[in-house]
Amino acid sequence: MSYSETLTPSPVPSWAATALSERGGGAVLINAYPLTDTKTHSYRTDPSYFYIVRIPRGASTYAVWVYNSTNQTISVQVIGNVTNNQTYPDYTIGSAYTVGSGATNMYVLAVEAALTPFVSVQISANTAPTSGAVYALVITE
C-alpha cells in the first residue's frame, strides 16, 4: 500500500485539476469512490481511492470539500493522524456531517482547533447506494 506524503497526490484526476490549480493548495482525499454498501470506508480500507495527506506548515485553515454523486445521503467524518503509515490509530476531527444525494458540502477547520500533520476522511451510508461515486478534496489557506 502506498500513501501520499505530499500535498497533491500524483497524478491529479482531471475532475480535480481545475479546483486545485485555482486554489493554489490542496489535495485529493477521495478519487471517485463507488460506494455501494453501508460499511465505513477510509484510506485504510480502500487505499486505491482514499488518501491521507500532509497539511502544509504555515497553513492557518483547511477545508474538506465533498461531492456525493451517489443516490443516497452519506456521512463524512474528517480524521487525522500523526503519521501516514498506519502506525497509530486515526482520530476524529470535529463532528461528522452528512452530504445529500447529488450535493456538495464544505467543512472548514482552523488549524489551531484541529492541529494534525495528516488529514483524511471516512465515509459511510445508512442505505447502500446503487449508483454514483464520492469525491473529496482538502483545500488549504
What are the structural domain ranges in the chain? 14-140
Residue pLDDT, tens place only, 8-42: 444 567 766 666 655 557 889 999 999 999 999 99
Query: In the block, which residue shows the cell 484510506?
Result: 43
Residue 128 burial (CB count, 10 A): 13
**Start-to-end C-alpha separation, the chain:** 29
What's the CA gap between 93 and 22, in Å, rounded?
Answer: 26
* Residue 141: pLDDT band with limits 50, 70, 90: confident
Residue pLDDT, tens place only, 59-77: 888 889 999 999 999 999 9
What's the CA gap between 47 and 86, in Å, rounded?
Answer: 12
CA dihedral 36, 41, 42, 45 (to 10 degrees): -90
Do 70 and 133 contact (CB within 8 A), yes or no? yes
Residue 126 burial (CB count, 10 A): 10
What's the CA gap between 116 and 124, in Å, rounded?
Answer: 23
Instruction: State the average pLDDT for the chain.
Output: 86
Burial of 52 (0-12, 13-18, 19+ CB in 10 A): buried
**Mean pLDDT score, 90-104:** 95
CATH number of 14-140: 2.60.120.380
